[in-house]
């Protein structure tokens, strides 16, 4: 089988308070991504969000999976893709979109066939995938990293100078509820998403990349007064429930892709937790 699927159920904040390290990682960490020749998908019961990857040595087709009970994968869904590997292409109902390193592609509801390809099998594309339920069709659109809406945030003095690349988001791409982008930390900065926040009307998934060999990122989650941490390696993702903060600090600078879905498309819809109030 070229497609591997795992289901994660929702956990309440009261339950998570009692989790040990293994339970916390089993519930929220996605560590099976970027395996050559496979499509790996994790189906979360938080907003029915799917996070996964496709690494084609030979062309890989996006097949429907049992939890969807659908004739084809995007029958009732939309899909966001960001290529974090070498150049490749994605064939969408016969139309080919070339994706270079860190280019994004949005594919709308009702698309019947999606095929992932690499230009070179020995240097494959590495497609990071996010998908959410969709109520209507919006056109497929490619967004290069250069075309992203860029926000410069933080400062070197507070170790969080970063560029937020808004890629699949209102004003750049029209979607039903899916939003994706990529945040790149500057050399010397290690903190992301600080001050931390929650947004009760949508969930989020973080995918960490560009972590140098031998380095790690410590991802913080949980309620602001009851935080937990998960140590993460390159090309791992973490599910962030609506009630949880999501921020991290690395032993080096790095990049992460954020994806989210839920009730609201307002990027600024968040409840900020004061740094001095975190516990």
Annotated binding site for Zn(2+): 197, 199, 204, 246
> CA 1 → CA 39, 67, 107, 206, 213, distances in Å?
9, 17, 24, 26, 30
Sign, CA torsion 61/114/41/181: positive
**CA–CA dist 183, 187 (Å, integer):** 13
Q: Which residues are annotated as a binding site?
A: 197, 199, 204, 246
* Token pair recorded at residue 277: 């109030």
Give the DSSP letter of residue 34.
Answer: -
Rg (CA), the chain: 18
**Contact call for residues 247 and 240 (beta carbons, < 8 A):** no
**CA–CA dist 28, 47 (Å, integer):** 14
């Amino acid at each position: 089988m070229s497609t591997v699927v795992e289901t994660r159920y929702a956990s309440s904040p009261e339950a998570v308070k009692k989790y040990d390290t293994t339970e916390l990682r089993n519930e929220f960490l996605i560590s099976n991504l970027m395996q050559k020749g496979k499509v790996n998908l994790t189906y979360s019961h938080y907003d029915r969000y799917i996070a996964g990857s496709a690494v084609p040595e030979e062309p890989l087709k996006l097949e429907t999976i049992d939890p969807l009970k659908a004739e084809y994968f995007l029958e009732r869904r939309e899909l966001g893709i960001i290529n974090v590997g070498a150049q490749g292409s994605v064939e969408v109902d016969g139309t080919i979109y070339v994706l270079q390193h860190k280019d994004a592609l949005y594919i709308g509801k009702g698309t019947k066939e999606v095929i992932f390809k690499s230009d070179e099998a020995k240097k494959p594309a590495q497609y990071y995938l996010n998908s959410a339920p969709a109520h209507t069709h919006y056109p497929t659109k490619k967004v290069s990293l250069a075309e992203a809406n860029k926000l410069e945030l933080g400062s070197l003095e507070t170790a969080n100078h970063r560029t937020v690349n808004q890629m699949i988001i209102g004003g750049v791409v029209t979607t039903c509820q899916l939003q994706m982008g990529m945040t790149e930390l500057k050399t010397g900065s290690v903190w992301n998403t600080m001050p931390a926040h929650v947004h009760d009307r949508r969930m989020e998934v973080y995918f960490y990349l560009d972590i140098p060999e031998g380095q790690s990122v410590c991802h913080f989650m949980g309620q602001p007064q009851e935080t937990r941490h998960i140590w993460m390696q390159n090309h791992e993702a973490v599910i962030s429930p609506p009630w949880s903060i999501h921020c991290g600090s690395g032993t080096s600078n790095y990049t992460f892709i954020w994806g989210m879905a839920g009730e609201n498309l307002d990027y600024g819809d968040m409840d900020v937790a004061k740094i001095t109030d975190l516990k």
